[in-house]
Amino acid sequence: MRSVSLIFALLFGVFAFSQVTQEIFESFKLQERRDVHYYFPEKMDENKKYPLIIVLDGDYLFEQVVATSKFYSRFHGMPQSIVVGINQSKNDLRYEDCAFDPDSGLPSEKGKSFYEFIGMELIPYLDLNYSTAPFKMIVGYDITANFTNYWLFKDNSIFDAYINISPTLAPEMESRVPMRLNTFENQIFYQLIVEGEASNDKQRIMALHQGIKALEKKSLHYYFDEYTNADHISVATYGIGKAFDNIFGMFKPISPKEYKTQILTSEEPVYNYLENKYQDIVDIFGFSKPVELNDIMAIYAASRKMEDFESLKPLSDLCKKEYPETMLGFYFEAEYYEQLGEPKKALRTFEKSFQMEEIDFLTKEMALEKMDALKADFGF
């Protein structure tokens, strides 16, 4: 069967001029047409890769996820993402799509088809036609949240992150999910969200939480949030923003707390922290992120405070790559030579920094002062 994307997708929006488009996707697996909504970031760059977020219950959750994605990518450093919402409210399709056998807990026949529709039709279509990153997330609520867990039991799960909002759990799922998560060697994010009001589902969700919490897996990034003032309906609006904050936390600039508790307390060279932070993004999300000026300045401040002047050299090399037109690279390199006791090299390098553009707190006047001080001290 050739790609379903090329044969059966009928566009209703104008992609080139709109961030949100609607598509009627005629599924061979489901033998029916399904409403799908897409959000594409503004000014998409064909050379960039974008994480893919699949949203079940798209009628209700798609706009919330899109709004959160836009906000966090604008203000919290989260990568811009492609968001895909699958509508399921018409004729109570969500209950057919996500139905499970009451004895075995496995998906019904329709559920199996819906599972294959997402994994074998929709996602391959998106990967083929858009610049998707390897990192993929799925979001579900209530019965659709339970359904997301079935991808955990696939040999190679197509999702790297799961947001489970107040799931209506299939039989034995509270024990099956922790057991399965304990077998994963690759990095995986699992966010569980629950409301405060008591229910039979709540007891089982808490049992699921305790089972996952007890795991000792470095590759598992587990987050649990309970919203005591939320009920089963409102909990979805409470939880999505915090879930994004948890899962994409490493994209945020280095915070004052992070600086004090993790960088200044480390016994390793401070530059290693910056290098590891950005390499983790590549390893987990499958693409690189430009190094933020805030993070460079944090490492620079830490290297001086901890007298770790060896970190200035790799930091200067990084700055020449990331901010090639500015003073950063040569100024940090000059300070490195200064601390190394090589005044002639320091002077020549400060002179180079003087020729570059000012940035942040670094000014030509500062470079000139350094040059004058070196000349006075060493008689150059």
For residue 47, what pLDDT band results from cuts at 50, 70 and 90? confident
pLDDT of residue 57: 96
When the pLDDT of each residue in the chain is averaged and rounded to a whole number, the result is 92
> Higher pLDDT residue, 13 or 203?
203
Can you spell out the DSSP letters for 258-314?
A: HIIIIITT-SS-HHHHHHHHHHHHHHHHSS--PPPHHHHHHHHHHHHHTT-GGGHHH
Contact 117, 156 (CB under 8 A): no
For residue 219, what pLDDT band results from cuts at 50, 70 and 90? very high
Burial class from Cβ neighbours inside 10 Å (0-12, 13-18, 19+) for residue 96 reads middle
Q: Indicate if 246 and 262 belong to the same structural domain.
A: no
pLDDT at 302 over 60: yes
Q: Indicate if 201 and 310 belong to the same structural domain.
A: no
For residue 92, what pLDDT band results from cuts at 50, 70 and 90? confident
Q: Measured on CA atoms in the order 148, 151, 152, 156, is the torsion positive or negative?
A: negative
Residue at a domain's end among 224, 251, 278: 251
pLDDT of residue 89: 87
Q: Indicate if 29 and 81 belong to the same structural domain.
A: yes
pLDDT of residue 182: 96
The one-letter amino acid code at 64 reads Q
For residue 320, what pLDDT band results from cuts at 50, 70 and 90? very high
Average pLDDT over residues 10-38: 76
Contact 316, 327 (CB under 8 A): no
Angstrom distance (rounded) from CA 92 to CA 94:
5
* Domain extent for 295: 256-378
Average pLDDT over residues 278-292: 93
For residue 13, what pLDDT band results from cuts at 50, 70 and 90? very low
pLDDT at 71 over 70: yes
Average pLDDT over residues 306-319: 97
pLDDT of residue 1: 40
pLDDT of residue 135: 96
Q: Locate tokens 């659709």: which residue? A: 144
Q: Indicate if 245 and 267 belong to the same structural domain.
A: no
> Higher pLDDT residue, 330 or 17?
330
Residue at a domain's end among 251, 277, 306: 251
Which whole-number Å values give the CA distances from 60 to 25, 53, 63, 64, 90, in the listed order?
19, 15, 7, 8, 12
Q: Indicate if 138 and 198 belong to the same structural domain.
A: yes
- Tell me the two tokens of residue 26: 């005629």
pLDDT at 158 over 80: yes
Average pLDDT over residues 97-105: 94
Q: Indicate if 52 and 117 belong to the same structural domain.
A: yes
pLDDT of residue 156: 86
For residue 99, what pLDDT band results from cuts at 50, 70 and 90? very high
pLDDT of residue 6: 38
**221 Cβ neighbours under 8 A, 6+ residues apart:** 187, 188, 189, 190, 246, 247
Contact 296, 317 (CB under 8 A): no
The count of C-alpha atoms lying within 13 angstroms of the C-alpha of 39, restricted to the half-sphere facing its C-beta, is: 24
* Interaxial angle between packed helices 173-181 and 200-213, expressed in degrees from 0 to 180 and rounded to the nearest 10: 20
For residue 201, what pLDDT band results from cuts at 50, 70 and 90? confident
pLDDT at 3 over 60: no
Contact 84, 36 (CB under 8 A): yes
Q: Indicate if 93 and 240 belong to the same structural domain.
A: yes
**At 86, is the secondary structure helix, strand, or coil?**
strand
Q: Indicate if 47 and 108 belong to the same structural domain.
A: yes
Average pLDDT over residues 218-231: 94
Structural domains of the chain, count = 2
CATH classification of the domain holding 211? 3.40.50.1820
Average pLDDT over residues 293-316: 97
Q: Which of 64-78, 104-118, 215-229, 357-371 has the lowest mean pLDDT?
A: 64-78
Q: Indicate if 246 and 260 belong to the same structural domain.
A: no
Q: Indicate if 232 and 283 belong to the same structural domain.
A: no
Residue at a domain's end among 231, 251, 271: 251
Neighbours of 327 (CB within 10 A): 25
pLDDT at 96 over 90: yes
Angstrom distance (rounded) from CA 318 to CA 98:
49
Q: Indicate if 200 and 132 belong to the same structural domain.
A: yes
CATH classification of the domain holding 282? 1.25.40.10
The DSSP bridge partners found for residue 67 are: none
pLDDT at 8 over 80: no
pLDDT of residue 14: 35
Q: Locate tokens 């709004």: which residue? A: 67
Q: Indicate if 44 and 176 belong to the same structural domain.
A: yes
